[in-house]
């Protein structure tokens, strides 16, 4: 399963050169991942309030082409790997107008409790996530 998030680039997203500031892609990935999870019925904020949190432990981004003010991007999110306490998401961002690849990346998340101790991903979340893995 994949999920697409569409977002417009505003002035606040850009650097002095008029292109998207490189670190903003991490914010876009975060939004896209949250929407992906919520599309599966996993409300991140509810689980966090109950001591089940997902923290990023690794990220990797390849910058292919610049996005600029006014561009509309589509962030495609896929679950690439699911383990007992961790999961890996894969992202691609393309410009909607011409389908040009802008960036691609991954994030690895670990499931932790309120004390940031690793815990198993709860069964109900694991089942929903496993259904979204590529066959």
Query: Got the DSSP string for 3-54?
Result: EEEEEE--GGGB-TTSBB-TTHHHHHHHHHHHHHHHHTT--HHHHHHTT-EE
Question: Looking at the annotation, which residues are catalytic?
Answer: 15
| C-alpha 89 chain-centroid distance | 6
pLDDT at 5: 97
Compute the average pLDDT of residues 59-71: 97
Are residues 10 and 72 in contact, defined by beta-carbon separation less than 8 angstroms? no
Q: What is the pLDDT of residues 40-63, one digit of tens each?
A: 999 999 999 999 999 999 999 999
Query: Looking at the whole model, is its pTM more than 0.85?
Result: yes
Tokens 């670990």 correspond to what residue? 110
Model confidence at 134, in pLDDT bands (50, 70, 90)? confident
pLDDT at residue 119 greater than cutoff 80 = yes
2-130 architecture in CATH? Roll (3.10)
pLDDT at residue 15 greater than cutoff 80 = yes
Are residues 113 and 52 in contact, defined by beta-carbon separation less than 8 angstroms? yes
What value does the mean pLDDT of the chain take? 96
Model confidence at 105, in pLDDT bands (50, 70, 90)? very high
């Amino acid at each position: 399963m994949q999920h697409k998030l569409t977002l417009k680039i505003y002035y606040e997203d850009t650097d002095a050169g008029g292109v998207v500031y490189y670190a903003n892609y991490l914010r876009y990935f975060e939004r896209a991942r949250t929407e992906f999870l919520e599309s599966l019925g996993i409300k991140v904020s509810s689980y966090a309030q109950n001591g089940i949190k997902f923290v990023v432990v690794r990220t990797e981004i390849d910058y292919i082409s610049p996005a600029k003010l006014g561009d509309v991007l589509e962030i495609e999110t896929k679950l690439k790997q699911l383990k007992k306490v961790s999961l890996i998401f894969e992202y691609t961002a393309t410009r909607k107008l011409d389908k040009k690849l802008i960036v691609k990346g991954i994030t690895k998340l670990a499931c932790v409790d309120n004390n940031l101790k690793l815990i198993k991903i709860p069964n109900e979340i694991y089942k929903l996530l496993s259904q979204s893995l590529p066959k």
